[in-house]
Amino acid sequence: MTPRPVATSSAQPAAPGVLVILGASGDLTKRLLMPALLNLACDRLLPEGCAVVGMGRDVMTSEEFRARQRGDIRKFCTRGTVDEERWGWLESRLHYMGGEFDDPDAFVRLRRLVDDTAAAIGAAGNTLLYLAISPDFFALVNQQLDTAGFTRMKGARRIIVEKPFGRDLDSARALNQSLLAHWPEEEIYRIDHYLGKETVQNLLAFRLANGMFAPLWNARHIDHIQISATETVGVETRGGYYDRTGVIRDMIQNHIMQMMAYVCMELPASLDPADVRDAKSRLLSSVRMIAADDVADACVRGQYGAGKKADGSPAVAYRDEPAVDPQSNTETFAAIRLHLDNDRWRGMPVYLRSGKSLWKRGTEIVVQFRPDEQAPAGVDPAGGEAVGNLLVFHIQPFQGVEIRIQAKRPGTTFTLQRAGMRFDYADSFDAARGTGYEVLLYSALNGDPTLFSRTDFVESAWEIFQPVLDSWAATPAADDPNYAAGGWGPLAASTLLTRDGRHWHEILNRDLLARTPFFAEAPSLVLNNLLPAFRPLAVASGTTVVEAGALDDEMYFVCRGELEAVGADGVRLGLLGEGEFFGEMAVLFDQPRAATVRATAPCDLLVLDGDEFRRIVNDFPAVAAEFRRIAEERRGVNGE
């Protein structure tokens, strides 16, 4: 039975309390925590009985700490301009003391400062300790906090632990044991900033509040699910950290598994934190373990080489990044196929991928429904083959939900066309941009652990990926780097799906298409028609994409890479590079391919079915004229 969401009134200020930040002089505080606190203050969600006590290794007074934060907030405020009145209110509640983490006396002084501050503002009995420090210090700091009596303070007390939560299963278990030696489970709040994103929280809201999808939410109606989190940037200044981490530890084991849990778990009996967290943990326990012998078949790893950034400027290879081992085998890309062995999803794959230095930045969840095999005779879908509907959750940078459907085209004939129905958060809600930490801090101050990870979830996630990490550690990659910076990732990632008769859904937007000069000035209506019509194709160097004399009916756009057009006499007619296209002659003039086109480097292509291309050309005369002009020029030199 689907639980009914409980209607709530507008949020009230958090419970009075003292937020203690260990590591308050570091980057996390100035870049994320302080802007989040200011956003809460601007929204009147912090109570009058609120204070922040920081401790860090930098020696300074509270006044100096306030002055430093006053300067930093102008750089990192997410609202454009700082609300001076609200910042003044928050700044007056900031306190600081310097101290080394290996100095027991420092924690005795910290305890005294916290007690005095709480008494002064009437907030005794609600203490939130935030470990904004390296995991290397977790065990030491917890012991110091226990010795100084923080674990025995009267009233409510909680400790927030930042990721990375361990670097493998053994270290995660050891870290849990060290925490549980000082704190009971209900007082440990393991934070994952992805759960602070509104779009991630709305995954649960979508499933709870939209019953029309409930009967379809199973392997009978859904063919597969894809979860992608891609970045255009390389490791940049984080090379030292990233070279010890890799993309599975950095993204997949935590952020992506949280999203998969929300999408695939059984709906909780209620919104009680225990019920929600139980449902997530049960989902992870249903994941089929990947045996060591199956890693090569189910998992793809990659590392980026030199290439181009999204803006066209040169990008160095991962091994040439600062603080990276020149012989490093650390993966900067991974694609993994999982199966869930439960009644709802048995037999249906879930594909996960994440990587750095790729062609676009975006986090999306794609739910691919099965096509309707019972469609009436005469109903011919756009593209010429039955394709199931798509449900797309846009997590970042664009936030929204999209359904891709087939719709009747205007006109006298019953002709279908791919179309999209989209909900954008920016068009529906007037909410100031946040850091993602606002809701997490607010929940922790109120003692709500719903958005925080429990011991069993963390350890189950590590259990799933430990065989992959072990296998990769035992067999270093022989072909690194295996994808160029600015591309789609390793060709093997595409093969992972094509072996199953599927392909990755490259979720496009107008900005991405506009990188191609031909589309830079195209009307929005043209781009809107193209976005759902393209399908991706990744090919290796030397691959023949079209053969001279063939009667196939597709057009191609080059995202990355280079191809050559070769005439029937074997003479090269020209090269095709990024932003160019080919195949329009065969499609426009209904003739065999005039030239062979093959890749001279690894290529990422967008493919447009001939029927879709002709429809767009017929609908937009200006586009048709430009295509025909280019086609005539190429026909004149007998090229493609």
Catalytic residue positions, numbered: 255
Question: Coil, helix or strand for 283?
Answer: helix
Helix, strand, coil: what percent of the chain each, to 5? 40, 20, 40
Distance (Å, whole) CA 527 – CA 509? 8
CB 255 within 8 A of CB 239: no
DSSP codes, 433-498: ---S-HHHHHHHHTT--TTSB-HHHHHHHHHHHHHHHHHHHHS--SS-S-EETTBS--HHHHHHHH
Q: Quick count: other Cβ atoms within 10 Å of Cβ 98?
A: 18
Counting every residue, how long is the chain? 640
Q: CA quadruple 310, 194, 532, 367: dihedral positive or negative?
A: positive
The DSSP 8-state label assigned to residue 517 in this structure reads H
Which strands form 544-546's sheet, in the order they lie side by side? 544-546, 596-599, 563-566, 572-576
The amino acid present at 381, given as its one-letter code, is P
Distance (Å, whole) CA 611 – CA 553? 8
**Closest alpha carbon to 560 in 537, 542, 583, 593:** 537
Cα of first residue to Cα of last residue in the chain, in angstroms, is: 58
Distance (Å, whole) CA 544 – CA 556? 13
What is the residue whose two structure tokens read 């053969």?
547
Contacts of 348 (CB under 8 A, 6+ apart): 219, 222, 223, 224, 225, 339, 340
CB 267 within 8 A of CB 279: yes
Distance (Å, whole) CA 85 – CA 97? 25
Distance (Å, whole) CA 95 – CA 61? 8
Q: CA quadruple 130, 136, 140, 143: dihedral positive or negative?
A: positive
The amino acid present at 191, given as its one-letter code, is I
Distance (Å, whole) CA 584 – CA 379? 27
Distance (Å, whole) CA 635 – CA 479? 40
Both tokens assigned to 160 = 């927030």
The number of CA neighbours under 13 Å toward the Cβ of 140 is 12
Task: Give CA separation, 458 vs 97, 163, 243, 631, 639, in Å.
Answer: 33, 11, 22, 57, 57
What is the residue whose two structure tokens read 């530890």?
249
